[in-house]
Amino acid sequence: MATRTKNQVKTRHTLPQKTRTQMTDLLNTTLASVFDLQSQTKQAHWNVKGDDFYQLHKLFDELAEIVEDYVDTVAERITALGGLACGTVRMAASGSMLAEYPTEVLDSMKHVELLADRYAAFGTHARESIDTADKAGDQATADVYTEITRGIDKALYFLEAHLQA
């Protein structure tokens, strides 16, 4: 049976406890935000309307699937560090750094704009987290953030391509 100490379980992981706690806190903020990003992408997927409905409906669904992989990756990194992943919908809602997604939007390009804003904000968070993890001496967590950043940047490129002339 695992023993707990302040949102940590006993582990043989060799990173110092202080570093693991710091990374767990950072990763739980990321978990809430990436889970929120996935649900906001699905919100756009379900509600998009307009001439480019079909292609955006498919794009938003594909992006949500990519982001879903990051939800799992982040949660697993938290638990690998001996932390407890805080990943319910309610936890995500209270811990996300993303702006709330408006429910009245139907226009396809407005959905693209709103998602592009959120992907850009989350990408900034992920890039900053690479440096934070690196400075803390946790290269594996920095690598997780590097992987996420590459994917989020690509998703942002796909979204912005619809907004650029």
Q: Where are the domains of the chain?
A: 15-161
C-alpha closest to that of 20 among 84, 86, 83, 85: 83
- 3-state DSSP assignment of residue 8: strand
C-alpha closest to that of 42 among 18, 67, 60: 60
pLDDT score of 2 more than 50:
no
CB 48 within 8 A of CB 103: no
The highest-level CATH class for domain 15-161 is: mainly alpha
Q: What is the pLDDT of residues 51-92, one digit of tens each?
A: 999 999 999 999 999 999 999 999 999 999 999 999 899 988
In the structure, what pLDDT confidence band is assigned to residue 128 with cuts at 50, 70 and 90? very high
In the structure, what pLDDT confidence band is assigned to residue 12 with cuts at 50, 70 and 90? confident
pLDDT of residue 100: 95
In the structure, what pLDDT confidence band is assigned to residue 131 with cuts at 50, 70 and 90? very high
Mean local confidence (pLDDT), 12-37: 92
Percent of the chain with pLDDT over 70: 94
CB 31 within 8 A of CB 78: yes
Q: What does each C-alpha distance from 138 to 31, 40, 157, 158 come to in angstroms?
A: 17, 30, 29, 31
Model-level pTM? 0.92
**Range in 6-10, 103-107, 109-113, 140-144 with the lowest mean pLDDT:** 6-10
- 3-state DSSP assignment of residue 125: helix
C-alpha radius of gyration, the chain, whole number? 17
pLDDT score of 1 more than 50:
no
Rounded to whole angstroms, the maximal C-alpha distance in the chain is: 59
Burial of 34 (0-12, 13-18, 19+ CB in 10 A): buried
Query: Which residue is associated with the tokens 């989350």?
Result: 122
- 3-state DSSP assignment of residue 48: coil
Of 121 and 7, the one with more pLDDT: 121
pLDDT of residue 5: 46
